[in-house]
Amino acid sequence: MKSLKILIYSMLTIFIFGSSVSKAQIPSVRVGIYDFVDNTASEFYVLAPTMILGYDILKISQLNLEVSTGFSFNRIRYNSHYHFLYMIPLMPTMYYNLLNPDSKVWPSIGIGVSMLGKADHNRDFDKTHYSLAYGYHATGRLNIPVKGDLLLILEMTYNLLIPPRLEEVNLSGVILTVGLKFPDRPVRQ
């Protein structure tokens, strides 16, 4: 329940801040997987299905600022107990669209800061551990025009997170997503 509240508040912040700052209001929806890079986390949690909602709130020439949030979920059985991992990221990212005038496909690179709310719930003991990690991320994106104003985006993000305590499992990882972006203006041809 607390994870759902955080997701709702994150989305409200994006839409309120986005609508007041700029006219570059371009939503995107992506789905994919969160692959943990830490040995302990990757052995315990494996891969987590992920959904990310993004919103471009600022566009200046070849730069655009996107704020995104989402939801990742994983269930694992450990020592005959089921653990449920819920993660809600909040990632403002500044993208630079690389110029490629001869191609309809163009790449983007980006960097930003990350916050990740985590809830690790043990169903059998009815215990939940909450934590908030922060860090940085680097992103590579490929933009492909599909039809009309619609863009297909392929994205890979490396999320470097700093655990709140040394005993905490490091949730740094790679997020691989594919999705759609709905621009408000025609895509360059």
Considering the four listed CATH numbers 2.40.160.20, 3.40.50.1370, 3.30.950.10, 2.40.50.180, the one that applies to the domain covering 2-181 is 2.40.160.20
- Tokens 């990632």 found at: 91
pLDDT tens-digit readout, 64-81: 999 999 999 988 877 777
Q: What is the largest CA-CA distance in the chain?
A: 59
pTM reported for the whole predicted model = 0.79
The dihedral sign for the CA sequence 161, 165, 166, 169: negative
pLDDT tens-digit readout, 13-53: 655 554 444 455 789 999 999 998 887 777 777 889 999 99
Domain ranges, ordered by start, for the chain: 2-181
